[in-house]
Structure 1
Amino acid sequence: MDDVKKAPRGVYTSGKGSSAVGLTAYITRDVDTKQLVLESGALVLSDGGVCCIDEFDKMSDSTRSVLHEVMEQQTISIAKAGIITTLNARTSILASANPINSRYDPNLPVTSNIDLPPPLLSRFDLVYLILDKVDENIDRQLARHLTDMYLEDAPDTVTENTVLPVEFLSMYIQYAKENCQPVMTEEAKNELVRAYVDMRKLGDDSRSSERRITATTRQLESMIRLAEAHAKMRLSETVNLIDVKEAVRLIKSAIKDYATDPITGRIDMDMVQTGTTSAQRRIQEDLSNEVMKVIEENDNTIRVNELAIKLNERGTVRVENHDINECLKRLQQEGRLFT
């Protein structure tokens, strides 16, 4: 990932070869003093910069669990071998993951295509799907970019389309991070509030009683961070309207990609946060009510096979045994059904 070279402080690691202690910190014994010391991991070393993680979906569950605190609190709590401390991990995490079976299925939600838990996926400010679609213009641009990388070095002539050197861009980013602390203006604050309220309104469906969650406070916090970052890019001391509009555009374009229910074609943030869409929950609730009706009609005593037969006789859509078993488990957990 080239962003490691551009960031003032960047660390690259692979999810397949990373462990929980490798990302946070580990205990070792000093060669000279023989004392236990704390050595920093990738996330602590990238404090104030960016940590690029490749093969993010190949991480183990124990390794991914340490990222929740980092992405939420920007700290890492350590309690090992008598050493109890909290380390700063104010880092941006740039991760890449492949879809399950190396093929993205557009008929399934993003949580079913990527082997990542919904709570972790929802903590990313921006999630973009890079799909391999056949497009002549995009294919030509990509091919030209790849072939240009093998051309001889051109003379240092500054033109309108000159690509900035990596060293200059890195110094520019470092200067912006150290010297620019933009403050939100009243106009920008009002635009953020208006954009957030408009995004929330997308979940109201006047044709039915359905209320989908199309934005949460995490999206609002993401827009604030993106607006501040855009102001820093301009070396501005204030966050203006142009910064907020660009942040809103980025958030909306990302949500449109990864938070759209492929069945209904509508934005549903519950799909990202819980892995279940509002439409799926409604179907599950209807099935639960139908199951309870059949059980009550049979004096609360019926076998599972008989229950499946009666449900399929009454409904227009066939219900599989797996769905019935999951429904019975949910009813038991809710205390509505006793085995």
Structure 2
Amino acid sequence: AYVSEDPETRELVLESGALVLSDRGICCIDEFDKMSDAARSMLHEAMEQQTVSVAKAGLISTLNARASVCACANPIGSRYNPALSVSENINLPPTLLTRFDLIYLVLDKYDEDKDRRLARHLISLYHDGATGAARPHGGAEPIPHDLLRDYIAYARARVQPQLTDAAASKLVSVYQDMRRDGRERKVVVATPRQLESLIRLSEAHARMRLKDTVGAEEVEAATRLWYTAMSGSAAGAHGGIDLENIHTGQSAAQRERTKTLAADLRKLLAQSPAGATTSVAELLAGMAPYGVTREQLVTLLRELSDIVTLDERTGIIRPRRNIVAANAGPAAVEVA
């Protein structure tokens, strides 16, 4: 939503944006990685609260944005780097990525059979004689677009499935299995947000089949769908799913490297003379062999706030033990 000036009355009016216009529908966003920060901030609220708040030019309003969001993003430089997390590859904040129920990683890998079928399909769009070749293995005729659109519209408008006892029990069991798997592998596999995703996916599967109730089979289908999507975008270093790749915006290898750097930095600071202060520039020079950037070093120092304090304005680092001693000094004198 945005504010514009009416050309006739010269008054400021509130205009609906894509999310508001998609209320009770689907909002499809291409080039998701190229959105402005202001648009992304609106998406946070829309995907979490299903509303869009506007406070511009004296106009204050909250608009409904009860829409599903389907977004596509390209990696930086149009090339995906497996060593980096999904968040770093597409330059999107983890706080926004975690709001999606499903995240598919679509990589362009060389496959002769798939390449042939894709080429035939694209050619069929321009050459009628290639239509049959576009359907692999003599598959069934595709559903006409008009019929599919009407079917989806009818299902969304008329079908409101309710969870059954069997589905509720299955959801609890699946969530417990996910949490147990994460605890055993010491990673994050599921949070309450993933449970909500499974509920929505189960309801959508039942709605697609025009069912009034959500059964255990819908939960199983939703679980398979979730694992299929996340096994690529949130794959752990040793197999399985690790949602920390998305939650932190760092891959497992990067998180392990950060832990090692934090431990080495803690040892380095502990070896400094008592009462000595240093600067970020000096510490950065001392850690040159690690290839650490200034931003990474500042982040590590924030995590080590139990032993040092960092003045980010001046870049001065002071041992925290001196602060404790300084605080204890006057108290001791006062008692005496």
TM score, norm. by length of structure 2 = 0.79
Instruction: Verify: 1:203 aligned to 2:182, yes or no.
Output: yes
Instruction: Verify: 1:37 aligned to 2:16, yes or no.
Output: no
Partners of 1:37 and 1:328 in 2: how far apart?
Answer: 45
Q: CA deviation at 1:96?
A: 0.8
Relative to structure 1, the CA distance from residue 330 to residue 161 in structure 2 (aligned partners, 3 Å threshold; closer, same or farther) is same
Whether the 8 Å CA contact 2:87–2:249 is kept in 1: the answer is yes
Partners of 1:288 and 1:106 in 2: how far apart?
Answer: 24
- Within 5 A, what are the aligned runs for 1:1-339? 24-29=1-6, 31=8, 35-152=11-128, 161-205=140-184, 211-261=186-236, 263-277=237-251, 280-281=254-255, 283-300=257-274, 301=276, 319-322=290-293, 326-327=296-297, 330-332=300-302, 334-338=305-309, 339=317
Which deviates further from its counterpart, 134-143 or 59-68?
Answer: 134-143
Partners of 2:36 and 2:272 in 1: how far apart?
Answer: 46
Q: CA deviation at 1:234?
A: 0.6
Q: CA deviation at 1:160?
A: 8.1
In structure 2, the partner of 1:18 is none
Q: CA deviation at 1:49?
A: 1.2
Q: Which has the higher helix share?
A: 2
Partners of 1:36 and 1:321 in 2: how far apart?
Answer: 50
Two-structure CA RMSD over aligned residues (Å): 2.9
In structure 2, the partner of 1:8 is none
Partners of 1:129 and 1:220 in 2: how far apart?
Answer: 21
Whether the 8 Å CA contact 1:75–1:89 is kept in 2: the answer is yes
Relative to structure 1, the CA distance from residue 302 to residue 79 in structure 2 (aligned partners, 3 Å threshold; closer, same or farther) is closer
Partners of 2:290 and 2:56 in 1: how far apart?
Answer: 50
Point out the structure with max Rg over C-alpha: 2
Partners of 2:151 and 2:292 in 1: how far apart?
Answer: 60
Partners of 2:286 and 2:122 in 1: how far apart?
Answer: 61
Whether the 8 Å CA contact 1:109–1:260 is kept in 2: the answer is no
The DSSP-based 3-state class of the residue aligned with 1:47 is: coil
Whether the 8 Å CA contact 2:206–2:212 is kept in 1: the answer is yes
In structure 2, the partner of 1:12 is none
The DSSP-based 3-state class of the residue aligned with 2:108 is: coil
Q: CA deviation at 1:233?
A: 0.7
- 1:35-60 residue CA offsets vs partner (Å, 9 max, x unmatched): 43322111111111111111111112
The DSSP-based 3-state class of the residue aligned with 1:132 is: coil
Partners of 1:280 and 1:214 in 2: how far apart?
Answer: 18
Whether the 8 Å CA contact 1:28–1:39 is kept in 2: the answer is no
Q: CA deviation at 1:249?
A: 0.8
Relative to structure 1, the CA distance from residue 308 to residue 235 in structure 2 (aligned partners, 3 Å threshold; closer, same or farther) is closer
The DSSP-based 3-state class of the residue aligned with 1:212 is: coil
Relative to structure 1, the CA distance from residue 173 to residue 335 in structure 2 (aligned partners, 3 Å threshold; closer, same or farther) is same
Partners of 1:212 and 1:108 in 2: how far apart?
Answer: 17
Instruction: Read off the aligned partner of 1:195 and give its amino acid letter.
Output: V
Whether the 8 Å CA contact 1:288–1:327 is kept in 2: the answer is no
Whether the 8 Å CA contact 1:219–1:251 is kept in 2: the answer is no
Instruction: Read off the aligned partner of 1:25 and give its amino acid letter.
Output: Y
Which deviates further from its counterpart, 119-128 or 102-111?
Answer: 102-111
Whether the 8 Å CA contact 1:126–1:251 is kept in 2: the answer is yes
Q: CA deviation at 1:302?
A: 7.4
The DSSP-based 3-state class of the residue aligned with 2:91 is: coil
Q: How many residues align?
A: 300
- 1:293-313 residue CA offsets vs partner (Å, 9 max, x unmatched): 33333324376798689879x
Q: CA deviation at 1:25?
A: 3.4
Partners of 1:164 and 1:247 in 2: how far apart?
Answer: 23
The DSSP-based 3-state class of the residue aligned with 1:246 is: helix
The DSSP-based 3-state class of the residue aligned with 1:66 is: helix
Instruction: Read off the aligned partner of 2:3 and give its amino acid letter.
Output: Y
Partners of 1:309 and 1:52 in 2: how far apart?
Answer: 47
TM score, norm. by length of structure 1 = 0.78
Gaps of 5+ in 2: 132-137, 310-316, 318-336
Instruction: Read off the aligned partner of 1:28 and give its amino acid letter.
Output: E
Whether the 8 Å CA contact 1:268–1:277 is kept in 2: the answer is no
